[in-house]
Amino acid sequence: MKFKLFALSLLVLVGCGTGRHAQYNKIPQRLELVSIEVGTDVDDEISLSNEILEVFNMPSDGENHYFLSVGHLGFGDEVIQLLFDPLFELFIPLGDNVTEALESLEKLQALFDTDPGTSMQTTGCLAVGVPNDKREPVKVTYRTLLISRMLEFSVEREGYIRAAHLHRSDFNSLVNGVKFYKRLHPRE
């Protein structure tokens, strides 16, 4: 009987300590709203060109912060981009609520209705796993290649360009997914 009481007391103490530790946990959360896997082969085999595009919320100190992850960036110039960095992702801040996030995405989507080569400046963050506070200018350019229409997200550094490309259909799917999420969660 004493052993059972001791074991129960020990579990309660450990449980209280764990609960208290969990309250002060500062690991950032990445709460997915919409994600799309692009570059999947027909046979559903994993290839090196697979990317996951995502719109997510990263709450901090009780406030929401929405981001677009355009995936991993290539390295090169305006003509050739080599993908060799599987760690760093480019994050575009979208706003602090779903309405602001949707408005930001629709501004980017409006580039598809302009002439090829049209660009706009925004800010972004090149980081591992989750965005940080180190923002830098990102150039978003509407490009066409044969029958493909895409947005190019590029960061220029010391004479070279790091870029990622999102096809129109994939970007439209992200925007439609956020619209659907907004209908499900109108107060967020």
CATH number at residue 173: 2.30.31
pLDDT of residue 10: 52
pLDDT of residue 172: 92
pLDDT confidence bin for 25, thresholds 50/70/90: low
Average of per-residue pLDDT across 30-51: 66
Average of per-residue pLDDT across 1-7: 51
As for how many domains the chain has, the answer is 1
Within a domain: 21: no
Which domain does 47 fall in, by range?
A: 29-184
Within a domain: 172: yes
Helix (H) or strand (E) holding 166: strand 160-167
pLDDT tens string 106-115: 999 999 999 9
Beta bridge partners of 35: 54
Within a domain: 9: no
Q: In 10 A of CB 142, how many CB atoms?
A: 21
Within a domain: 45: yes
Q: Which two tokens stand for residue 5?
A: 């009481």
Average of per-residue pLDDT across 27-52: 68
Within a domain: 132: yes
Distance CA 91, CA 54 (A): 9
pLDDT of residue 84: 60
pLDDT tens string 61-98: 888 899 999 988 876 655 555 566 677 889 999 999 99
Within a domain: 8: no
Among 28-37, 84-93, 137-146, 174-183, whose mean pLDDT is lowest? 84-93
Within a domain: 106: yes
Within a domain: 16: no
Q: Tell me what the pLDDT averaged over the chain comes to.
A: 79
Q: Is the pLDDT of residue 104 over 70?
A: yes
pLDDT tens string 116-170: 989 999 999 988 888 888 999 999 999 888 888 889 888 887 777 888 888 999 9
Distance CA 72, CA 48 (A): 11
